[in-house]
Chains A and B, each alone.
Chain A
């Protein structure tokens, strides 16, 4: 078995170890935030999920660019899988964010917050990716259209990320400033553990899903050649 085939289980193992450690430390070791109290601990799951969702969309856009650059259709499935992972992690960001908003601000959602609304726009943009993809017959045309769409969406990532810093009236906290992370070293350590674990989890799921989709595609092609 090649090293490439071992990547999925290796990442799954890293994800399992890092996430178990991060969640245990987040509950029992890190100091309680003076401002938000115990509810601040949602930070250790919410922010890594958001960064992972951004990374998945960016990876999907990179694969889309490779497809348009090289005209190699293998990148289509990779881009599609990355966007799919990004949407799954996007759902988690929205749900954990809503839970955090409810306990911290007293509301599940605030339409006045640019950061929240822009993330929702990004999420819905990539949800529409699947509608576009499924509305076109499978083939090179579908691959190219999906790639162009995935590439356009990546523009929203820096806007969504910077929205909180560009906003003047916000209640969403800013933790990472030009002076570095505004938190204790132990908090930052747990945050890093959780981020690495979440990205490793996304990578493991990406590899499994990609293998499944490749097999599915091969079976469809084979069935088509028989009929």
Chain B
């Protein structure tokens, strides 16, 4: 290989190496996020899936809160 060919190959390989490094870093990050989601799901199931836990609604969402209040069982006296 001539000197020019070595430099040209190096330039193309740098491009490839940086893209691959980015992919590796992001694969690790996605794996970490996936693990965190699984841990969170295991520790506390989705509120909507558990009938004992009411679905969390923002305080300002008056319609949803009103609907939820209408569906709530009467308190046992």
Contact = CB atoms under 8 A, between A and B. Distances in A.
Q: Is the interface of B mostly helix, strand, loop or mixed?
A: helix
Nearest to B9: A27
Interface string B27-48: 0011001001100100010000
A102 B7 contact: yes
Nearest to B34: A215
Given A201-B19, A212-B29, A103 B14 contact: no
A95 B10 CA distance: 10
B44 A208 contact: no
Contacts of B29: 212, 216
A41 B6 CA distance: 12
A187 to B, nearest CB: 14
Q: Is the interface of A mostly helix, strand, loop or mixed?
A: helix
A23 B10 CA distance: 13
A95 B19 CA distance: 13
Interface in B1-27: 2-5, 7-8, 10-12, 14-15, 18-19, 22, 26
A118 interface: no
Contacts of A27: 8
A103 B22 contact: no
Given A37-B4, A38-B5, A103-B4, A209 B14 contact: no
B33 A99 contact: no
B61 to A, nearest CB: 15
Interface of B: 2-5, 7-8, 10-12, 14-15, 18-19, 22, 26, 29-30, 33, 36-37, 40, 44, 56
16 contacts: A38-B5, A38-B8, A39-B7, A42-B7, A42-B11, A88-B18, A92-B15, A95-B18, A103-B3, A103-B8, A205-B19, A208-B26, A212-B29, A219-B37, A222-B40, A226-B44
